[in-house]
Chain A
Amino acid sequence: MSSLFRYASPVAFYPLAGRLVPWFSGLALLFAIGGLYLGLIVAPPDWQQGETYRILFIHVPSAWMSMFIYFVMAGYAVLTLTLQTRLSALMMQALAPTGALFAALALATGAFWGKPTWGAWWVWDARTTSTLLLLFLYLGYLALQNAFEDVRRADRAGALLVLVGTINLPVIYFSVRWWNTLHQGASISLTAAPSMARIMVTSMLLMSLAAWAYTIAVVLSRVRGKILWRERSSQWVLELLRDGRSDGVDS
């Protein structure tokens, strides 16, 4: 197992990440093609919602990934604060933009689904409001990262913020759900997905796997850039520059 811990150092992780990026990119493409083929071409129109339900094939994976990424960030935050490893902080910073993007996409695709379904671009129901607040948590983290000159302080302050946010997330979701029932008397669950045929579920699963593989590819690629910049005064980066191998996503 000690050989695996070797990859906790940025020097060893950099080339490993570089080798993994093309694989996960390919996986993402495969899953996406499969999911889109099943979801757009094979799956029939829903008897209740017609064609608009197909938006769920990108809406649901976006929402799942935005939450999942935040929890992965929380894991790295724990590592940053306890083990003080630089790589965990860099992974956290690499995850945040993609998480924010998926949260924003979840909101946007949800709006495109909501307009034909409920007649409104935006409703203040529990899930949309919680996703909006999650987006704010991401944006706050990104703002905090850029607010300090001292990178070590930015790392650790960001990690603490992510942990505080993680503890608060269930509270936020629960409170928004309660608020929703209070103000709209919703026995109608506005965000209930239609009961789905198996082919639709399969397609949703494939698209979620595609989103997950895409996230890994993008985050690994982003963290390589961050590693290079953070370690720019060290010998191995110098050699990498001299050999001309620091450019490009795939090297």
Chain B
Amino acid sequence: MNPTLSTSSDTPKRDAFERASEQVCEAAQANMAAACRLILTSELRMALRNRTDVAQPLIFFIVVGSLFPLGLGDGTSRLTALAPGLLWVCALLSVLLSLPQIYARDAANGTLEQLVLSPYPLAALCGGKIMAHWLLTGVPLALLAPLLGIAFGLDFDSGALLAVTLLLGTPILSMIGAIGAALTLGARAGSVLVALLVLPLYVPVLVFGSGAVEAWRAGVAFGGPLLLLGAGILFGVVLAPLATAAAVRIAIE
């Protein structure tokens, strides 16, 4: 109890009110954490059951990455020079491909309405979905990219930095992508529309992600873009679940 806040006449009422509001806050935080955990475990369990759905974007990544040497000719020096940017674009496209999956199943079997109507805050549920998407798509991509980079002649240090930029960038891709996926739920030509909406918004992530690796290879300071990506994650963690929840509500009503 804070004695400076209460006056002598209504001390008992004020204490009770403060206690009640503390309890509500704790309950809300517990609610949000519980909601997140609930969605996360359910998504991961679904992913275990549908392993091919999860693997498809990753296979796409490898296939598209392999197209570039075929298209550009196998002059290794040119490929190595282009590698960070190319690999980043391939990763971006793979994430784009995986976006409709975030809500497709839930929208089809009515789970989405249940989520909206549930007592848990919708923003927390959406946050859990975004985190699950990142764990299933972004993290594997970040780990696969240096391996594909070897095929491009990328050296170990550049590959490691590439993985770091992808680890920092793919959460933002998942966050923005989830908003786009929710906005285009059930729309005509949904997957192309999502790409059209989301790609301009992805550009800063692409620029900072591949730019960091390019800067390192050029011997210039590369910490700036990494910090900006980190700031983007923080910014997104606060805003993206709210925006996604708003988009889901718009889609459901």
- Whether A136 and B200, one on each chain, are in contact in the complex, defined by CB atoms closer than 8 angstroms, is yes
- In the complex, A174 Cα to B187 Cα: how many Å? 32
With both chains docked as a complex, state the minimum distance between the C-beta of A137 and any C-beta of chain B, in angstroms: 5
Given A144-B183, A147-B189, A179-B207 contact (CB < 8 Å) = yes
**For A179, what are the chain B residues with a Cβ–Cβ distance below 8 Å?**
207, 211
A-B contact count (CB 8 A): 85
Given A140-B197, A144-B187, A175-B250 contact (CB < 8 Å) = no
Interface: A133 (CB within 8 A): yes
- Whether A164 and B220, one on each chain, are in contact in the complex, defined by CB atoms closer than 8 angstroms, is no
Interface: A79 (CB within 8 A): no
- Whether A182 and B204, one on each chain, are in contact in the complex, defined by CB atoms closer than 8 angstroms, is no
**Nearest B residue to A138, CB-CB:** B200
- Whether B211 and A161, one on each chain, are in contact in the complex, defined by CB atoms closer than 8 angstroms, is no
Given A140-B197, A164-B243, A165-B201, A147-B207 contact (CB < 8 Å) = no
Given A178-B207, A182-B211, A164-B179 contact (CB < 8 Å) = yes
Interface: B196 (CB within 8 A): yes
**For A168, what are the chain B residues with a Cβ–Cβ distance below 8 Å?**
200-201, 204
With both chains docked as a complex, state the minimum distance between the C-beta of B211 and any C-beta of chain A, in angstroms: 5
Which residues of A, 21-48, contact B by the 8 Å Cβ criterion? none
Given A133-B200, A171-B204, A182-B214, A160-B183 contact (CB < 8 Å) = yes
Which residues of B, 220-253, contact A by the 8 Å Cβ criterion? 220, 224-225, 228, 232, 239, 243, 246-247, 250-251, 253
- Residue from A137, A144, A165 within 8 A of B184 (CB atoms): A144
Which residues of A, 160-211, contact B by the 8 Å Cβ criterion? 160-161, 163-165, 167-168, 171-172, 174-176, 178-179, 182-183
**For A165, what are the chain B residues with a Cβ–Cβ distance below 8 Å?**
200-201
- Whether A147 and B211, one on each chain, are in contact in the complex, defined by CB atoms closer than 8 angstroms, is no
- In the complex, A137 Cα to B202 Cα: how many Å? 12
**Nearest A residue to B197, CB-CB:** A140
- Whether A175 and B203, one on each chain, are in contact in the complex, defined by CB atoms closer than 8 angstroms, is yes
| Chain B count of residues within 8 A CB distance of the other chain | 34
- Whether B196 and A140, one on each chain, are in contact in the complex, defined by CB atoms closer than 8 angstroms, is yes
Interface: B63 (CB within 8 A): no
- Residue from A147, A152, A153 within 8 A of B188 (CB atoms): A147
**For A105, what are the chain B residues with a Cβ–Cβ distance below 8 Å?**
none
**Nearest B residue to A167, CB-CB:** B239
With both chains docked as a complex, state the minimum distance between the C-beta of B129 and any C-beta of chain A, in angstroms: 17
- Whether B251 and A153, one on each chain, are in contact in the complex, defined by CB atoms closer than 8 angstroms, is yes
**Nearest B residue to A168, CB-CB:** B201
**For B208, what are the chain A residues with a Cβ–Cβ distance below 8 Å?**
175, 178
- Residue from A137, A147, A153, A172 within 8 A of B253 (CB atoms): A153
**A-facing mask of B182-214, CB < 8 A → 1, else 0?**
011001111001001101110110011001001
**For B190, what are the chain A residues with a Cβ–Cβ distance below 8 Å?**
147
**For B232, what are the chain A residues with a Cβ–Cβ distance below 8 Å?**
171
- In the complex, A206 Cα to B207 Cα: how many Å? 37
Of residues A81, A143, A165, which shows the largest number of chain B Cβ atoms within 10 Å of its Cβ?
Answer: A143
Of residues A136, A137, A148, A175, which shows the largest number of chain B Cβ atoms within 10 Å of its Cβ?
Answer: A175
**For A161, what are the chain B residues with a Cβ–Cβ distance below 8 Å?**
183, 197
**For B247, what are the chain A residues with a Cβ–Cβ distance below 8 Å?**
157, 160
**For B225, what are the chain A residues with a Cβ–Cβ distance below 8 Å?**
178
- Whether A137 and B200, one on each chain, are in contact in the complex, defined by CB atoms closer than 8 angstroms, is yes
- In the complex, A140 Cα to B176 Cα: how many Å? 14
Given A144-B184, A147-B188, A176-B207, A157-B250 contact (CB < 8 Å) = yes
With both chains docked as a complex, state the minimum distance between the C-beta of A197 and any C-beta of chain B, in angstroms: 37
**For B218, what are the chain A residues with a Cβ–Cβ distance below 8 Å?**
182
Interface: A222 (CB within 8 A): no
**Nearest B residue to A156, CB-CB:** B250
Interface: B97 (CB within 8 A): no
**Would you list 9 pairs from A and B whose C-beta atoms are within 8 A, ordered by A residue?**
A133-B200, A133-B203, A144-B193, A144-B197, A161-B183, A167-B239, A168-B201, A175-B228, A178-B207
Nearest 9 CB-CB pairs, A to B? A175-B204, A147-B187, A136-B200, A140-B197, A179-B207, A175-B207, A156-B250, A133-B200, A140-B196
